[in-house]
Structure 1
Amino acid sequence: MTTASVERIEMGSLTCWSLCFNNSKLLIAEQGAQILSYGNEGEPPIIWLSEQAELKPGNSQRGGVPVCWPWFGDLLRNPQTVQAMHQQPQQAGAHGLVRSIDWTLEGVEQLEEAVSITFCYNSLEQPLAHWPHAAELSLTLRLGERLSISLVCRNIGQQPLAFSQALHSYFAVSDIHQVSVEGLQDCDYIETLEDWQLRKQSGAVHFNGETDRIYLKPSAKLQVIDPLWQRTINLLSSGSQSAVVWNPWIDKAQRLSQFDNAAWQQMLCIEHANVLDDIVTLAPEGEHRLSVDIWLDKQLTHQALV
């Protein structure tokens, strides 16, 4: 017998939605359609949210799963076609324009095997500063035995639409020194901390300092191996050919907003993305879907990659 519920709640100054399915719980803010937390009752969280997150309007939250769109990272590091979509790229902030605006609740569905919620954003109805283009975003979150995230972008204008994007997922870990990431073996990556050099990954990814890498054409399935919590976080993606792996470590953590100086030890970002040569260009009426499934294996040793 399954139990499922959907509830509108207020968190700080934000309107949020709480979804429950059996012992799993998902919390989403209407602002940015941002997942704030996800996990199972009585267990460590799967999605990490900073204890210093400021839940107030106009303020993107540190943690959860922010939607980065219509560009990821520094706009000036994006291909020229993405930069050209913005009227003032020199003044543009990081990670796009939709993280700190309210999305519209499109619908809620409760089924026997899952509960889902969909948020939409339309740039014609809610124009973006210095980005005069016509696009519609739809984010559907489906909570069942796993969490499924699906971000669809549609070009509703008359001109081609170019963008980069990411689901900027923050994962909770027991100790960053102990965890590893599998699925990136032999993958080329950009080492952004060393003049954006192109390198190749040897073996699993381990962490012993600040990490900020863009992996190119990774496996569709990645795994975060956490031996102290005796679990594996599985990530299965489609619609992207890039994965960003990030941890600020000691020095950068002290410069981040909404971030405790020691919080870097309990979090790890793996961001499924379309960046660099993997940007998306949509013809009029075209659409693109970026999706990620997240689930746990509760065991000391991880399952073989598929």
Structure 2
Amino acid sequence: MSLTESDVAPLEIPHIQQIEVNQLQCLRVQNSRGELLLALQGAQVLRYQPHGQEPLIWLSDEAAFEAGHAVRGGIPVCWPWFGDLMRNPPQVQALHSGGRLPAHGLVRSIEWTLQESAIEGDRVRLLLAIPATTDSPSLRHLPHGLELLLEIVLDDRLHLNLTTRNGSEQHLALTQALHSYFAVSNIINVTVEGLEGQNYIETLEGWAERQQKRDLVVSSETDRIYLDLPPRLTLRDEGWNRRIHIDARGSTSAVVWNPWVSKARRLSQFADDAWQHMLCIETANVMKDLVELAPGEEHTLGVTLTGEPLA
């Protein structure tokens, strides 16, 4: 199921509108610069499109929008671990045990609370939270007193800030990511700038440590963890004459992922040819870039996304 313009009535701009997409409660946000669609389940940005551009954020045409199930595409929130828990640092693994634990943490299928919303001129701000008092069964084993907040700001760009507050009496170790699926004209037209000379872990070849020799061009299945990164990466798309700047805060690691041909056929909510039109560049705190918080401390993982024409 997909959302089309005919599904929602036009409103004055800027605005925040509550809508339903299949089984999910969502917020549709518009200002004079662009449009955002957000699911309260998982606090997941589903779509972001600046006016006059192709979408920056990719959403699968086969996304199901079902309660209790993650949606393929958008910007899922991965917390308090990223990927397979058993591939995480020991101090992250130590906080979680027992039962079947899903990839990418515990909050992607939880309904978040909209705590604040504000419109100031052309700027729209949303604050979503999983409060410290949550009674979600999947979070009950975590130290009591943790609070997770996601601030989303739409102005001429898109800003996300994911804040963890450790209000417990225990030391907390976590990994996390803003798992951004970027829309591209075709993967063969794309270059990722800012990775040259950076170290990475090649997860598809025994988690070997490698060094990126030049800007990244994706030409096969890709699943790499980049470390010690500069604050800015840039996704250059010759087909759409566009670059997307990805400006990270509170992060020196990122994951780059594309399933390519064979794996795409095995993925749920994913068309066989969808790999051609997306690339994940996930702003993260993973591996040695994990977050450790003493009682009373907090950490914010943030990213700002900017689309602009190629010069």
- TM-score (ref. length: structure 2): 0.93
- Measure how far apart 1:124 and its partner are: 3.4
- Measure how far apart 1:203 and its partner are: 1.2
Residue 115 in structure 1 maps to residue 90 in structure 2 = no
- Measure how far apart 1:175 and its partner are: 0.5
Aligned to 1:184: 195
After TM superposition, list the pairs within 5 Å mapping 1:212-223 onto structure 2.
212-223=223-234
Secondary structure in 1 matching 2:187? coil
Amino acid at match of 1:78: N
- Measure how far apart 1:241 and its partner are: 1.4
1:104 to 98, 110, 113: 113
After TM superposition, list the pairs within 5 Å mapping 1:1-306 onto structure 2.
3-88=13-98, 91-129=100-138, 131-134=141-144, 135-299=146-310, 301=311
- Measure how far apart 1:156 and its partner are: 1.3
Secondary structure in 2 matching 1:52? coil
Secondary structure in 1 matching 2:80? coil
Secondary structure in 2 matching 1:174? coil
Contact 1:26 1:35 in 2 (8 A): yes
The count of aligned residue pairs is: 298
User: Structure 1: which 5+ residue stretches go unaligned?
Assistant: 302-306
- Measure how far apart 1:277 and its partner are: 1.1
Looking at structure 1, the residues matched to 171 and 224 of structure 2 have their Cα atoms a distance apart, in angstroms, of: 29
User: Structure 2: which 5+ residue stretches go unaligned?
Assistant: 1-11
1:56-90: CA deviation from partner (whole Å, max 9, x where unpaired): 110100000000001000000001111111122x7
Looking at structure 1, the residues matched to 80 and 132 of structure 2 have their Cα atoms a distance apart, in angstroms, of: 11
- TM-score (ref. length: structure 1): 0.95
Secondary structure in 1 matching 2:266? coil
Secondary structure in 1 matching 2:188? coil
Contact 1:97 1:128 in 2 (8 A): no
Greater CA deviation, 51-60 or 121-130? 121-130
- Measure how far apart 1:93 and its partner are: 1.2
Amino acid at match of 1:125: T
Looking at structure 2, the residues matched to 108 and 203 of structure 1 have their Cα atoms a distance apart, in angstroms, of: 42
Secondary structure in 2 matching 1:251? helix
4+ residue stretches of structure 1 with deviation over 3 A?
Answer: none
Looking at structure 2, the residues matched to 49 and 159 of structure 1 have their Cα atoms a distance apart, in angstroms, of: 38
1:173-220: CA deviation from partner (whole Å, max 9, x where unpaired): 001011010011100000001111111101110011000000001111
Amino acid at match of 1:240: S
- Measure how far apart 1:123 and its partner are: 4.8
Secondary structure in 1 matching 2:306? strand
Looking at structure 1, the residues matched to 17 and 247 of structure 2 have their Cα atoms a distance apart, in angstroms, of: 28
Contact 2:251 2:283 in 1 (8 A): yes
